[in-house]
Structure 1
C-alpha cells in the first residue's frame, strides 16, 4: 500500500499543467521564518507544478510541513490548484529537518485562487499557548533542533526561571550555551543540574565539553571519564564522544599510552555510522 501511495505521489507531482514559472516566488526563507504561513516548495525546472502547504510547530515533533496540494501557473499568472492525491490519502505531514531547502511564501493574492483561508481551522489545535515551564522547554527544544540556539534560549531561560529542574531544561540550556560559545554560562547551569542528577551522562558529557572549550583540561578529562562510565549502553554516539574526547585530552597532555588505550575504547563503543568513528579510523585505529 505504501508503494502505491508513493507511486501516486510521484505521478501527481510530475503530472502536466503548464511549464510557466512564477518569477514572483522568492525561495529565500528558512522554515523557521515561516511559522503559521502558507509556503511553496522549490521545484526542478522540468517539474510541471509547485507543491504548497502550511508550516507550523508541533511541540512534540518540532517544525512540521502540512502538504496541502500542488498548483501550476497558467498563461495569465493564475494559480491552478490540484488536490487529487490528498483527496485519496488524506493529510500528508512532514517533519522538517534542519537542512530543508529555503521556502517561498505563498503570495496572499493567490490564496483565493487555491481556495485557501488565511489560516487553516485545524491549526488552533496546535496553539494552546500557556506560559508554563513545559511549554517554554518544548519550544526551546524545537529551536535547538533547528540550530537556532539564540531563539531557543529565550524560551529556555523562561522555563528555567519557572522550574530549573523541569524535564531536560538544564540540558537544553547548556547545549545552547555551548553552541553559542558561552561556556562559563553552561558550567553555571550544569554543575547544580549534575548535583541533582549525578548519574545523568548527557549532563556530565555537556559539562566536559564546556570545560574542554575553556581549556580546563584536567577538569574536562575527569568529567568525560565520569560520563563514559555513566553510559550503560555498550555502544552509542554519546558514549563514543566521551571516550574520543578523553583520548584527545590525553594526547594534548602528551600521555600517549593513555591516548592509545582510550582511542581503542572509543572505537569499541562508537557506532560505525558515527562521525567520531571516522575520526578514530582516520587517526589509525
Structure 2
C-alpha cells in the first residue's frame, strides 16, 4: 500500500510563475473531478500535474501525480523519482488558478479519466449529510455560488437539518442575497434560539441591508451567546465599520471598545480599528 503524504498548504508557492503561452484562469473549485496543472515556479521548466477532487470531510484537494514539460505545443510526462507515496495537497482561498487539461491531452498522457480511486469519494453522495458537508467545504473555499443549489435542495427536504441553515444563510450572504439570508436565519432562530452562529450571520445580513439598529440588536444577542472572543471581535468590528461609514462617532466608540476588549493587540480587528481612527477626519 502506498503511503499518503498530506501537505496542508494552499499551493500558493507552486505558482510564482514566469510568463508562458499557457493560461491559468480556472478556479480550483471549477476544476473539480478534472486533471489540471498549476503554473511553474520561477526558474522551473515543469508544471505540477494532478487531479482536483472534493473530500466532503477535508475539502478541495489536489492529488499530485508528477510533473509535465511543455514542448512543441504538447505536454510530456517527466519521470517521477518517488512513486511510493501519494501526495495530496489541501486547496484553499489562497490557492492559485489552474489550467484544466482537455480530454485529448489527458488521453495522450495515458491518465485514467477519472482515476479509479475517485469512487471512494463518491460514496453516499445522495445522503443529506454528505451533501451538506460538501456544500460547507464549498463555502469555506469561496465557492458559495456552487454550494447554493445543493443547500437549497437540502433545505426543501429537511430545513432544520443540523448545520444546514447556517450554511445556507452563509451562502446567501456570500453571494449578496441578504434578504434571503434574513428569511432563512430568522426561521432558524425560531427553531433554535440559542445557536450563536445564526445571530452572527443574521447580523451580517442586516448590516449589509443597512438596517443598523436591528443588526446591533442581533449582534448583541450573538455576543451574549458567544464563547469565542475572536467571534465577538468579528461581530463588533462589523458594527464599528458600519458606524464609521455612518459618521456616528459615539456608536463607533461603543463598538470599538468591544473590539479592543476581545481582540489581540496584533489582530486584524485591532488593525481595522487603527485604520478607522487614523482616517476618521479624512472621511468625516
TM-score, structure 2 as length reference: 0.81
Q: How far does residue 261 in structure 1 lie from its aligned partner after superposition?
A: 3.8
TM-score, structure 1 as length reference: 0.80
Say which SS state the counterpart of residue 223 (structure 2) adopts: helix
Q: Quick one: distance in 2 between partners of 1:187 and 1:111?
A: 45
Q: Quick one: distance in 1 between partners of 2:218 and 2:150?
A: 28
Cross-structure match for 1:98? 93
Asked which structure has the greater RCO (Cα within 8 Å, sep 6+), the reply is: 2
Cross-structure match for 2:63? 66
The 5 Å alignment of 1:155-170 reads 155-170=150-165
Q: Quick one: distance in 1 between partners of 2:74 and 2:240?
A: 62
Question: Is 1:239 aligned to residue 238 of structure 2?
Answer: no
Q: What are the superposed Cα offsets for residues 136-169 of structure 1, whole Å, 9 maximum, x if unpaired? A: 2122212222323222110001111111111211
Residue-pair matches, total:
261
Cross-structure match for 1:201? 196
Q: Residues 83, 157 of structure 1: CA spacing in aligned structure 2 closer, same or farther, 3 A cutoff?
A: same
Q: Quick one: distance in 2 between partners of 1:141 and 1:183?
A: 18
Q: Residues 92, 273 of structure 1: CA spacing in aligned structure 2 closer, same or farther, 3 A cutoff?
A: farther
Q: How far does residue 71 in structure 1 lie from its aligned partner after superposition?
A: 2.6
Q: Quick one: distance in 2 between partners of 1:121 and 1:202?
A: 39
Cross-structure match for 1:82? 79
Kept in 1, the 8 Å contact 2:169–2:182? The answer is yes
Say which SS state the counterpart of residue 84 (structure 1) adopts: coil
Kept in 1, the 8 Å contact 2:55–2:134? The answer is no
Q: Residues 73, 274 of structure 1: CA spacing in aligned structure 2 closer, same or farther, 3 A cutoff?
A: same
Q: Quick one: distance in 2 between partners of 1:62 and 1:93?
A: 12
2:217 pairs with 214, 218, 222, which one? Answer: 222
Say which SS state the counterpart of residue 52 (structure 2) adopts: strand
2:206 pairs with 186, 211, 214, which one? Answer: 211
Kept in 1, the 8 Å contact 2:36–2:101? The answer is yes
Q: What are the superposed Cα offsets for residues 49-104 of structure 1, whole Å, 9 maximum, x if unpaired? A: 2210111110112211000111334679561332213x24x011111112322212
Q: How far does residue 284 in structure 1 lie from its aligned partner after superposition?
A: 3.9
2:39 pairs with 34, 39, 42, which one? Answer: 42
The 5 Å alignment of 1:132-143 reads 132-143=127-138
Q: Quick one: distance in 1 between partners of 2:236 and 2:173?
A: 19
Q: Residues 54, 76 of structure 1: CA spacing in aligned structure 2 closer, same or farther, 3 A cutoff?
A: closer
Kept in 2, the 8 Å contact 1:72–1:79? The answer is yes
Question: Is 1:270 aligned to residue 270 of structure 2?
Answer: no
C-alpha RMSD over aligned residues? 2.8
Cross-structure match for 1:9? none
Q: How far does residue 132 in structure 1 lie from its aligned partner after superposition?
A: 2.9
> Unpaired runs of 5+ in structure 1?
1-5, 7-12, 14-20
Q: Residues 165, 79 of structure 1: CA spacing in aligned structure 2 closer, same or farther, 3 A cutoff?
A: same
> Unpaired runs of 5+ in structure 2?
1-6, 8-13, 279-284
